[in-house]
């Protein structure tokens, strides 16, 4: 059975457009007095919540030795296969005879799942709150060991964005236990 759909015939008030305009402006003005939801990035930075998974870092012991022992658990766990490690005999004395000669993470491949952090038996790799690390070339977005250690220095005792000091409890500087 066919249905006959009557098309809507605009009335005089509709054709005036004024009531609709007013209704729209009411919404606009209502929001005018409410709190902003957007921020003025990049002048103003978004502060990610705790547990946010951003740029990686490689932790160090207070003595300066890199915590990573190049066991490649992280690269085995990584679903994006973006961690590339070249191990070598460690130049430091006392236990932990292995360390990464090279440690590269391809940040463009990384999906920031945090599996590397979970897999690491040495608590050496961690994801930080840093999210704005764009660059101009693909090569520049492969972060190397030096870069990752630099991120550690930037984030070890303060939040990268708020610059607020981290409480003692959450800092991870335990010393070498072998």
Binding site for other proteins (CB under 8 A): 69-73, 76, 87-89, 96-98, 121-122
Residues in the chain: 178
For residue 66, give the DSSP letter: B
Beta carbons within 10 angstroms of residue 59's beta carbon = 21
Q: Could you tell me the smallest distance in angstroms from the CB atom of residue 92 to other proteins?
A: 12
97 binds, among other proteins, ligand SF4, none (CB under 5 to 8 A by kind): other proteins
Of 111, 132, 146, 166, which lies in the binding site for ligand SF4, with binding defined by CB under 6 A?
Answer: 111
**Euclidean distance between CA atoms 78 and 169, whole angstroms:** 28
Using CB under 6 A as the binding rule, whether residue 142 contacts ligand SF4 is answered as: no
Using CB under 6 A as the binding rule, whether residue 55 contacts ligand SF4 is answered as: no
Of 125, 130, 148, 149, which lies in the binding site for ligand SF4, with binding defined by CB under 6 A?
Answer: 125
Using CB under 6 A as the binding rule, whether residue 69 contacts ligand SF4 is answered as: yes
Judge whether 90 and 96 are in contact, CB under 8 Å: yes
Which candidate, 44, 67, 58, places its Cα nearest to that of 128?
A: 58
73-102: which residues touch ligand SF4 (CB under 6 A)?
73-74, 77-80, 82-83, 85
Question: What stretches of 20-156 adopt beta strand conformation (E)?
Answer: 56-58, 83-89, 98-106, 125-127, 142-143
98 binds, among ligand SF4, other proteins, none (CB under 5 to 8 A by kind): other proteins
3: left (phi over 0), alpha (psi -120 to 50) or beta: beta
77: which 2 tokens? Answer: 């766990």
119 binds, among ligand SF4, other proteins, none (CB under 5 to 8 A by kind): ligand SF4
């Amino acid at each position: 059975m066919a249905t006959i759909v009557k098309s809507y015939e605009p009335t005089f008030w509709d054709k005036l457009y004024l009531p609709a305009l007013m209704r729209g402006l009411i919404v606009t003005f209502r929001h005018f007095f409410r709190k902003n939801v957007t921020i003025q990035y990049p002048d103003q930075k978004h502060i990610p919540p705790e547990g946010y998974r951003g740029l990686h870092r490689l932790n160090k012991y207070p003595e300066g030795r890199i915590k990573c022992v190049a066991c490649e658990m992280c690269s085995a766990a990584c679903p994006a296969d973006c961690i590339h490690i070249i191990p070598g005999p460690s130049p430091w004395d006392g236990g932990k005879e292995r360390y990464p000669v090279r440690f590269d993470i391809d940040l463009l491949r990384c999906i920031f799942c945090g599996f590397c952090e979970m897999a690491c038996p040495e608590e050496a790799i961690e994801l930080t709150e840093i999210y704005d690390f764009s660059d101009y070339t693909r090569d520049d977005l492969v972060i190397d060991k030096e870069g990752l250690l630099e991120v550690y220095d930037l984030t070890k005792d303060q939040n990268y964005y708020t610059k607020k000091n981290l409480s003692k409890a959450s800092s991870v500087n335990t010393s070498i236990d072998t």
